[in-house]
Amino acid sequence: MKKKIAITGVSLYILFCGFIYLYLFVFQDATLPANLVGTSIDPATFLSREELLLSEQYSKIRDLLFFLEIPYEWLFYLFILLFGLGKVFYRWANEYGKLELLKSAIFTFCLSLLSFVCFFPFRYIRYTLSKNYGISTQDFSSWMRDGMIDFWINWLMLFFVVAVLYWLLRKSPKRWWIYAWLLTIPFTIFYMYIQPVVIDPLYNDFYPIQNKALENKILDLAGTAGIPAEHVYEVNMSEKTNALNAYVTGIGANARIVLWDTTLNRLADNEILFIMAHEMAHYVEKHIYIGMVGYLLLLFVCLFVVGKLLNLAIKKYGEIFAIDSVQSLSSLPLLLLIVSMLLFATSPLTNAVSRYQEMRADRYAIELTQDVEAGVETFQELTKTGLSQVDPPALVKWFRYGHPTMKERILLIEQYENTTDNK
């Protein structure tokens, strides 16, 4: 039975890889509709022929890696279960750990280390890809340092979550998922509060914007929007990338708007102000808080589904997967497999909500700055520096894009301009 499941899993993965390759490299036509050719949306109007070629190549390879890694993760957990590695890790945890907390630490460390090793090829390929296409400027030692920080942070979070989760499973086998969800609320709020001041600085240096003339313009714009301006920071991303970005992070007193220094170096002041207006929209419309509430509601449903599927899977495959009970740490790979599948299945929904919020932020930026030209030029520059596709395939948009496509963003600006001109 184990052999049959393994062969089926590998066969499905190979078929999926073939489908995704054909979908991205053969069946997709990157040609824009005739009515958009020669407009500000057409990448041929703001990219060189070489940049157009590189953009198509880079986007397709990057998307291919994304879609190949997701089911690879499912195979990873499946083979851990089939080869009984979960039971081996559990035995080691029992041998070297007396307390349940120490057992959880040993088990999650073994699982995290194996995961780090098995997924390293994907991470390295993405790194070399971005390096070869001129996106990344980060040297290997710095990249490895970030990878090790990721490892320890991810392990600590996994250890904490697993320790609490399996304590709840032992105490309340039927209602554990409700209690887990209730505990998620303060944990999520706490994590979002400390992220800007504790976690993010582990990777980069954050400091107030150094260009004082630009700072005054941002202060004026923030005043117009009714936003406290002390939450605007610059981060030294030029040491790692040529790409541009800005984002909103944190909540409460630690909420801040962050601009990459690459954005400050590459864009004109009016383009930076357009980006700032976009980020201010997230603050004004409380997208962080709305997103957090939406995340918690979705998590409530997912935890309920995970609980049901976990019990059903152990009843049917518990002996094959060497899982004695739901309460055993050896069930963790199965739980993570179910969670990974649910996250992938719900990503089109969460991405659609995110794109809606980003579209609202774009509209707010246009209305606040009244600078249509800056908006168009900003999105064109973002496309150029990130080697992004203006109009990606549907599956890529559904599963990868938390922002509207560049085609949609520039169309929104042009529609706003036409509406304004007709008034």
Q: What residues are annotated to the active site?
A: 279, 362
**Rounded to 5°, angle at Cα 16 from 401 and 340:** 55
Q: Give residues with Cβ within 8 angstroms of 117, minimum separation 6.
A: none
**Rounded to 5°, angle at Cα 157 from 143 and 78:** 85
Distance CA 407, CA 301 (A): 34
End-to-end CA distance of the chain: 70
Strand partners, 241: 136
To the question of whether residue 358 is assigned a binding role by annotation, the answer is yes
Distance CA 133, CA 234 (A): 25
Nearest C-alpha neighbor of 361 from the set 310, 263, 286: 286
Q: Which residues of 62-89 are buried (b: 16+ CB within 10 A; e: fewer)?
A: bbbeebbbbbbbbbbbbbbbbebbbbeb
To the question of whether residue 278 is assigned a binding role by annotation, the answer is yes
What is the phi/psi pair of residue 326, to 5°?
A: -65, -35
Place of tokens 């980069």: 204
Strands in 103-245 per DSSP E:
206-208, 232-235
Binding-site sequence positions: 278, 282, 358
Known binding residues for Zn(2+): 278, 282, 358
